[in-house]
Amino acid sequence: MCFLFLSCTPLFTSATTTTVQGLQPRCESHIFNNGKHYRSCKDLPVLDSFLHFSYARETGVLDVAYRHANLESSSWIAWAINPTKKGMLGAQALVAYRNSTSGVMRAYTSNINSYATMLQESPLSFRVTQVSAEYLDGEMTIFATMVLPPNTTVVNHLWQDGPLKEGDRLGMHAMSGDHLKS
């Protein structure tokens, strides 16, 4: 987890993105297949992840895309804001995975209240609309619009990936370094 400073101007992006397969295109140069466009983006420090967003502070409306590169299709991803504290408990998450039978992406919200969570669908503490996801060229992305309390300027955010098990159950994420740093 780390702090994300929301603003209407582009954020400084981290130069520490690590990749396994050479240089990952930085988030500024990414073009979304569905034509979506965001004012700001941030290369996240671990898990080949990128956060694209447009934020209107006066209304709290946050239009966001969380993108995870270099990912197997049999994976789930999640991106969350924790409005009350750091870490996983209380996190208000967006979750996505690809249905292994139909190939159709499923994207939904999950209010995380236990370390033993199965990331089951539940409403968040704030309004979320237009949740969708795509999997393309080894990248999985969740798109959503969230309504934060007006004038929010700093949030705790966290992100994760894990394996999809038999019957499309969401398996536990790894407990190694980057999965704990995220």
Ligand X SMILES: *[C@@H]1O[C@H](CO)[C@@H](O)[C@H](O)[C@H]1NC(C)=O
**Residues at the contact surface with ligand X, assessed by CB under 6 A:** 99, 101-102, 106, 150-151, 168
Nearer to ligand X, 9 or 16 (CB): 9
Rg of the chain (C-alpha set): 15
Query: Minimum Å distance from CB 172 to ligand X?
Result: 17
DSSP percent split of the chain into helix, strand, coil, nearest 5: 5, 45, 50
Could you tell me the smallest distance in angstroms from the CB atom of residue 167 to ligand X? 7
* Beta strand pairing call for 2-5 and 61-68: unpaired
Instruction: Strands of 44-168 (E only): list them.
Output: 49-56, 61-68, 75-82, 92-98, 105-111, 127-136, 139-147, 154-165
Nearer to ligand X, 14 or 100 (CB): 100
Name which of 58 and 137 has its Cβ closer to ligand X: 58
CB of 99 to ligand X, least distance (A): 4
Q: CB of 73: closest distance to ligand X in angstroms?
A: 13
Q: Is 28 or 72 the residue whose CB approaches ligand X more closely?
A: 72
Helices (H), the chain: 177-181
Measured CA to CA, the distance from residue 171 to residue 148 in angstroms comes to 29
